Amino acid sequence: MESKDFGSRLSTVRKEMGITQEQLSIRLGVTPQAVSKWERGGGYPDIELLYYLCEILGCSSDYIIGLEERKIKLTEDNDEVAAKQLLDKVLAEPLVIEAGTGFVTMFTDEYQNRFSSIRSLRESMAEKYGVLLPVLRIRDNENLNPLEYRIQAYDQLLYNCTLVTLEGFTFDEICRQLEETVINCFDKIMNRQMLKTLIDNVEMKYPAAITGVVPDKIKLSLLQVVLSGIVMRKKSIRNLLKIIEIMEEELDKTGDTEQLIETVQTKLGL
């Protein structure tokens, strides 16, 4: 560990906490000159002081001595589980099924079956349309009608249904509706990470088709719109390699998105 790196980290964290060198020295029981010396790279506190130093500054000893990148403190007690739950809440999820309490048993059965219906749906959609179903979050909502369920993407409501009875209704029915909703609203569900996964898969098998083409000639934003448009017409994008080749040829002729979608479909016989 370089003392100057330790000093730089110490100075940065101390200032972020709004603590002066004198205030820190008082809490540690050392002189302000000692803290100043540490921050200038002239030495280190002993092990016992290092422990209290990290407690005061709310950081780990591994960070302060340069063994790990700093983890921002998100809760007062630095509870990692609570911090993860908090981070989960600040980011809207790509695909969510939310249902009233009447569906709890059905959802529990699906969970105990290790989401076999969802796995089958994911495989079916990959083979049928060439799309990747995002990780699905399934949860109950006491605020909904007990027999109501809905499908959301990034907090946007895509589908809502309230049943008269659950008799004869299975989780497979929800999966069928989920497939239809995902295809009809694919432009609202597909994200750049999903697109990158598809592109990386093609590049791994056919590097010459991607290198220097995506995103150099074909912007990811345009490719995302075209692929979404094809899927929403209930057509497959499994032949992604050929779709990219056609787009590269046609971009010199037109920049109109709808025209590109139509041309790709025509040339692929979709």
Q: Are residue 243 and residue 262 in the same domain, yes or no?
A: yes
CA distance 185 to 212: 31
Where does 40-169 have alpha helices with state H?
47-57, 61-64, 80-90, 104-112, 116-129
Q: Are residue 201 and residue 170 in the same domain, yes or no?
A: no
Q: Is the dihedral of CA 201, 204, 206, 212 positive or negative?
A: positive
Structure tokens at 50: 């290092």
Of the candidates 193, 189, 169, 171, the residue with the CA atom closest to the CA atom of residue 181? 189
Tell me what pLDDT residue 41 has: 87
Q: Are residue 8 and residue 84 in the same domain, yes or no?
A: yes
Report cis status (omega within 30 of 0) of the bond before 94.
Answer: no
Q: Are residue 250 and residue 218 in the same domain, yes or no?
A: yes
Q: Are residue 173 and residue 122 in the same domain, yes or no?
A: yes
Q: Are residue 113 and residue 156 in the same domain, yes or no?
A: yes
Q: Are residue 250 and residue 173 in the same domain, yes or no?
A: no
pLDDT per residue rounded down to tens, the chain (270 residues): 445 688 888 888 888 888 889 888 888 888 889 999 998 888 888 877 887 788 788 777 777 877 665 555 666 666 666 766 676 677 788 999 999 999 999 999 998 888 899 999 999 999 999 999 998 999 999 999 999 999 999 999 999 999 999 999 999 999 999 999 999 999 999 998 899 999 999 999 999 989 999 999 999 999 999 999 999 999 999 999 999 999 999 998 888 999 999 999 999 998
Q: Are residue 145 and residue 161 in the same domain, yes or no?
A: yes
Tell me what pLDDT residue 67 has: 67
Q: Is 229:257 a contact under the CB 8 Å cutoff?
A: yes
Which of 91, 111, 134 is the C-terminal boundary of a domain? 91
Amino acid identity, residue 176? R
Tell me what pLDDT residue 220 has: 92
Q: Are residue 239 and residue 256 in the same domain, yes or no?
A: yes
Tell me what pLDDT residue 217 has: 93
Q: Is the dihedral of CA 165, 170, 174, 177 positive or negative?
A: negative
Q: Is the dihedral of CA 156, 161, 162, 166 positive or negative?
A: negative
Range of the domain at 167: 96-186
Q: Is 35:13 a contact under the CB 8 Å cutoff?
A: no
Structure tokens at 20: 């002066």
List the CATH number of the domain containing 160.
Answer: 3.40.30.60
Q: How many domains does the chain have?
A: 3
List the CATH number of the domain containing 63.
Answer: 1.10.260.40
How many CB atoms neighbour CB 90 within 10 A? 7
Q: Are residue 110 and residue 173 in the same domain, yes or no?
A: yes
Q: Are residue 59 and residue 105 in the same domain, yes or no?
A: no
List the CATH number of the domain containing 212.
Answer: 1.10.8
Q: Is 21:35 a contact under the CB 8 Å cutoff?
A: yes
Q: Is 130:175 a contact under the CB 8 Å cutoff?
A: no
Which of 65, 91, 117 is the C-terminal boundary of a domain? 91
Which of 151, 186, 221 is the C-terminal boundary of a domain? 186
Tell me what pLDDT residue 1 has: 46
Q: Are residue 79 and residue 115 in the same domain, yes or no?
A: no
